Amino acid sequence: MMERAMEQLNVQLSRLTRSLRRARTVELPEDNETAVYTLMPMVMADQHRSVSELLLNSKFDVNYAFGRVKRSLLHIAANCGSVECLVLLLKRGANPNYQDISGCTPLHLAARNGQKKCMGKLLEYNADVNICNNEGLTAIHWLAVNGRTELLHDLVQHVSNVDVEDAMGQTALHVACQNGHKTTVLCLLDSGADINRSNVSGATPLYFACSHGQRDTAQILLSHGAKYLADKNGITPLDLCVQGGYGETCEILIQHHARLFQTLIQMTQNEDVKENMLRQVLEHVSQQNDIHYQRVLTSLAEVATTNGHKLLSLSSSYEAQMKSLLRIVRIFCHVFRLGPSSPNNGNDMGYNGNKTPRSQVFKPLELLWHSLDEWLMLISTELERTRKNPSSSSSSSEIASLLLKQRESDHSGTTPKLSLLDHQIVMEAEAYVDGEDVISMTANRLSAVIQAFYMCCSCQMPQGMTSPRFIEFVCKHDEVLKCFVTRDPKIIFNHFHFLLECPELMSRFMHIIKNQPFKDRCEWFYEHLLAGQPDSDMVHRPVNESDILLIHRDSIFRSSCEMVSKSTNEKLKQGIAVRFHGEEGMGQGVVREWFDILSNEIINPDYALFTQSADGTTFQPNSNSSVNPDHLNYFQFAGQILGLALYHRQLVNIYFTRSFYKHILGIPVNYQDVSSIDPEYAKNLQWILDNDISDLGLELTFSVETDVFGAMEEVPLKPGGSSILVTQDNKAEYVQLVTELRMTRAIQPQINAFLQGFHTFIPPSLIQLFDEYELVIQLVTFVTYRNPRFYKYRRSPLSYC
Amino acid sequence: MSETYDFLFKFLVIGSAGTGKSCLLHQFIENKFKQDSNHTIGVEFGSRVVNVGGKTVKLQIWDTAGQERFRSVTRSYYRGAAGALLVYDITSRETYNALTNWLTDARTLASPNIVIILCGNKKDLDAEREVTFLEASRFAQENELIFLETSALTGENVEEGFLKCARTILNKIDSGELDPERMGSGIQYGDASLRQLRQPRDTTTQNKQQCNC
């Protein structure tokens, strides 16, 4: 008895020491649940000795499933790559095919995590490789997803069917292609995977490779003879490549299926295809080599021509064909500008006439331009005919309809036909009738083609230059184009964007444009002003801390000037963020306040930059501003601020004289403008013009006396002016010169500096869309509507809102 | 997505004013006679996919105005046409007499290989006939044209006219007389030939249906 007790004590003691030495229990608890959580950490760390020791004399069920997903310890071992524990568990009878709640076997987990050794051992113990989990995935699917080719090699020989499908009908090859694992794909193909297998939605391995832009995988599939098949919705691999903008994959597809090239080109006509993606693809294809470049462009030109001709068919949908044509031409011009891939052709911009091969790509379009030309000439003929018979449009239509009725009745009675003479009258009358119609029906369509023509002409020119061919074209069809826009001025805003880029052409249409509603011109103005900006919602975009203009309230003018000059024009165009020193506020309100108080400061008499006009409410540059040595820099700054305000639709608190607004717009001043700075003097000028001055003995010469800081100086109005007498004959010239002196010459440097600043944000070509009254409205209105100062600018304000 | 076809042919319909060109096109595309038809302004456009000899062909048809004042505009559409329907009115000798001019235009401005079908339209107005079948077929023979008398009103021979033209072009492609790859041939490949591999049965059944009519 004693011995047995001693023995037990010894056993207990040795257990205690072992336990204490190892800092863990050395005996497995009786109940499985507690036991499994004791063992799990050891299995994870592959502490196989401890595990084996614990299992040695216990009744623990090695297949006990635990936790939320009901896994066995074998799952844990396989998942963590604890190969020794895995073998131990298997030896103790763990079921290698035990499935957890999601249907996964230990082999699935080993495959997913790439546990090579565990996989090997599991196979040794007859793990079934063909078991599907609840999603239908087998071990090879898991290997394929992660591209574990080496493991796949080992496993695939045990697999009865490499084309085993998951719940979506996807095989291992599908998932390998989707993820672009090249060697895995090759291994599966070598193992006899079905290269054209389609899943439940009809998608093939090639389809998946293309939908994810896996170029190399697509290449492998195609060279192994994969068929080009669409899915059940008719979506083809090419469609997918274009959707994703995968140029390289498209290139591979075209290499294997040459005819897809045309399909790709035809996709430019499809409204549903994203333009930027398609452009990206075509860009890539064209950049492969010179032949591709030529081919892409020539084909695009052909498609554009067909589209343009469709647009000119009156029964086609104007909206759809117009958009399609302009989209194709935009892509065409973009690709053309990029130039071919080889650098030696890079310098040849193709403006040396039609001799260079690069400009050959425009050839197919010549058909369209030819049709355009013929159409415009036809309309010119119609116009002339209408002019010769001004009454025809109303009266002849009556005649025609009368005659037509007569003819119909003749026909129905099968009596002899109309005499030849009658017939001719009918024909001619008809011609007049639809002459008007022809113009109204075609004007929009032709204008859209003109827009396309302009785009094609200018993409061959260096930036900012108008193609002589286009100028010639506009001059040739001047009359017809003017007729179009007079009938429907919207055409200007919709299609004649070229006007804004070609001042020489703009002048021809200026009078028509100026007659258009202020609102329309405003829209056009901002549309073009902001055209280059990626985001029109500027003020709200998050700003970079370094781009914030930090302004001191007590020296607002100087600190603003400093901050603005430090920033770049590009950044200021993108958006303005202002913070006042020591204040937290940011955002639109602060920007508005800044413009408001800064504009007040600009006209602060202390700076001597601007002087008040005679009525005390409007301002214009001070001719004596040079007391401030930096005055020209400040004028430039003032111009920048005004430009920025207009650019970002902010309002300022300055009213300039009408003549100064005219300077901003580039409109010449006249003697009436003098009244804003010197009304008495303006009246005198008016009097000279209204009365005969020959016998008055005024003895005026072409010179004036000016007060420069208290000293009187005589300033000639033109060379030798002080000796030229003003007479009845030359008084108009005198008035104009004297006006220019008062209004312009005296402040010319200031105006120039101001405009230099202003034009950095607002190009002169755009600002000329407005007159001086509208400029005031854009810069100052609305908030200050109640301000009495505004009344002098109010022509009919209601028409502007 | 987009329709599939093996080839795309560019066709023209030409001939004097009032011969019924637009009505022929309308009948071919809509299977209906176009009542109260107006003079065509410039050029109109229509398209239809047909099955010819086992191939799907998209016909892109440009229907031109016959009036003299549009002549310069319509001529600018001739280039690169693979086939043309040259239409006259059997009840108007004037339109028949003008054929030579139209023919010269087509042969010089379009591709020299252009396949032209001569259509004597308004066959239904036999009572008012001014041009006999025999006379016109002789003219066709001399000028190597295929000749048909058609009626846009009843639809007689309209389909045949377009299909015959398409078939002749296909034969010329098969014999190598026409090269679709050449620029300005008025022929383009579609991508249907690739898809056919997948559904060969569908296509053949369609063909049979088409051939019956």
B198 to A262: CB separation less than 8 angstroms, yes or no:
no
Q: List pLDDT tens digits, range A456-474.
A: 998 888 877 888 999 999 9
10 Å CB burial of residue A629 (0-12, 13-18, 19+) is exposed
Mean pLDDT for the stretch of residues A192-209:
92
CA distance A318 to chain B (A): 13
Q: Is residue A344 over pLDDT 70?
A: no
Picking from B41, B80, B183, the nearest residue to A434 by CB comes out as: B41
A269: Cβ contacts below 8 Å, ≥ 6 apart: A303, A307, A324, A328
The mean per-residue pLDDT over the stretch A158-178 comes to 90
Please judge whether B80 and A367 are an interchain contact, meaning their C-beta atoms are less than 8 angstroms apart: yes
pLDDT in tens, B79-110: 889 999 999 999 999 999 999 999 999 999 98
Q: Write the pLDDT tens digit of every residue in A48-66.
A: 888 888 888 788 888 999 9
Stretch A548-565: mean pLDDT: 89
Average pLDDT score, chain B: 85
pLDDT confidence tier of residue A397, bands split at 50, 70 and 90: very low
Residue positions counted in chain B? 213
The confidence band for A1, taking pLDDT boundaries of 50, 70 and 90, is: low
A47 backbone dihedrals φ, ψ, rounded to 5°: -85, 75
How far is the C-alpha of B81 from the C-alpha of A687, rounded, in Å?
74
Q: What is the pLDDT of residue A78?
A: 93
Find the mean pLDDT for residues A638-650. Answer: 90
* pLDDT for A237: 93
Q: How many helices (H) and strands (E) does chain A have?
A: 38, 6
Task: Please give the C-alpha separations between residue A332 and each of A89, A271, A335, A373, B129, in angstroms, as whole numbers.
Answer: 68, 16, 5, 21, 52
- Given a cut of 70, whether residue A550 has pLDDT beyond it is yes
**Is A381 in Cβ contact with B42 (below 8 Å)?**
no
Pick among B35, B61, B73 to test the A interface (most A CBs inside 10 A): B73
The burial class, CB within 10 Å (0-12 / 13-18 / 19+), for B52 is: buried
Name residues whose C-beta falls within 8 Å of residue A271's C-beta, 6 or more positions apart in sequence: A320, A323, A324
How far from A187 is each of A152, A317, A604, CA to CA, in Å? 8, 53, 81
Smallest CA–CA distance, residue B178 to chain A, in Å, is: 18
Name residues 96-135 of chain A within 8 A of B (Cβ).
Answer: none
Q: What is the reported pLDDT for A739?
A: 87
- Give the list of residues 6+ apart from residue A320 with CB closer than 8 angstroms, or none: A271
**Strand (E) or helix (H) holding B89:** strand B83-89
Select the highest-mean-pLDDT range: A354-368, A615-629, B146-160. B146-160
Q: Give the per-residue pLDDT at A345.
A: 45
Question: Does B191 have pLDDT greater than 80?
Answer: no
Q: Which residues of B touch A235 (CB under 8 A)?
A: 1
Which of B44, B69, B72 lies at the smallest CB-CB distance from A431? B69
- Interface contact B76-A370, CB threshold 8 A: yes
For residue B8, give the chain A residue with the closest CA: A262
The percent of residues above 70 in pLDDT, for chain A, comes to: 87
Residue in B39, B75, B188 closest to A262 by CB? B188
CA distance A370 to chain B (A): 6
Interface of B to A at Cβ within 8 Å reads 1-2, 39, 41-45, 60, 62, 67, 69-70, 72-73, 75-77, 79-80, 127, 183, 188-191, 193-195, 197-198
Closest CA to B136 of B166, B71, B104, B91: B91
| Mean pLDDT, rounded, of chain A | 83
- What is the rounded average pLDDT of the residues A346-366? 64
Q: CB of A319 within 8 Å of any CB in chain B?
A: no
Residues A645-650, mean pLDDT to the nearest whole number: 89
Residues A719-764 pLDDT 10s = 888 888 888 888 888 888 888 887 888 888 999 999 999 999 998 8
Count A/B contacts: CB-CB distance under 8 Å: 84
Query: In the structure, what pLDDT confidence band is assigned to residue B204 with cuts at 50, 70 and 90?
Result: very low
| pLDDT at res. A666 | 85
ipTM above 0.95, yes or no: no
pLDDT for the residue numbered A434: 61
**Residue A259 contacts B, CB cutoff 8 Å:** yes
A2-16, A528-542, A577-591, B34-48: the lowest-pLDDT one: A528-542
pLDDT in tens, A267-315: 998 888 898 899 999 999 998 888 889 889 999 999 999 999 999 998 8
Mean pLDDT for the stretch of residues A109-134: 91
Contacts of B45 in chain A (CB under 8 A): 309-310, 313, 315-316
Using a CB-CB distance cutoff of 8 angstroms, which residues of chain A are in contact with residue B73? 371, 374-375, 378
What pLDDT was estimated at residue A791? Answer: 40
Minimal CA separation from A281 to chain B, in Å? 18
Selected for mutation to probe chain A from B16, B188, B202 (highest A CB count within 10 Å) is B188
A375 contacts B42? CB cut-off 8 A: yes
- Indicate whether B192 pLDDT > 60: no
Give pLDDT, residue A263: 87
> Scanning the structure block, which residue is given the tokens 């042969």?
B107
Task: Find the angle CA(A783)-CA(A788)-CA(A789) to the nearest 5 degrees.
Answer: 85
Quote the minimal CA–CA distance from A258 to chain B in Å: 9
Q: Is the pLDDT of residue A581 over 60?
A: yes
pLDDT of residue A510: 87
In Å, how far is B140's CA from the nearest CA of chain A?
Answer: 28
User: How close is the nearest chain B Cα to the Cα of A409, in Å?
Assistant: 15
A219-223, A429-433, A622-626: range with lowest mean pLDDT:
A429-433
What are the structure tokens assigned to A18, written together? 């072992």
- Residue B196, pLDDT > 80, answer no
* B193 to chain A, closest Cα gap in Å: 9
Categorize the per-residue pLDDT at A435 as very low, low, confident or very high, splitting at 50, 70 and 90: low
Q: Which residues pair with A703 in a beta bridge?
A: A716
Quick check: A371 and B60 CB within 8 A? Answer: no
Find the mean pLDDT for residues B29-40.
88
* Beta pairing class for A703-708 and B43-52: unpaired
How do residues A683-710 score in pLDDT, each as one tens digit? 888 888 888 887 777 778 888 887 766 7
The pLDDT, as a whole number, for residue A189 is 93
Contacts of A523 (CB under 8 A, 6+ apart): A493
CB-hemisphere CA count at 13 Å for A656?
30
Position A797 confidence tier, pLDDT thresholds 50, 70, 90: very low
Q: How far is it, in rounded angstroms, from Cα B188 to Cα B136?
A: 33
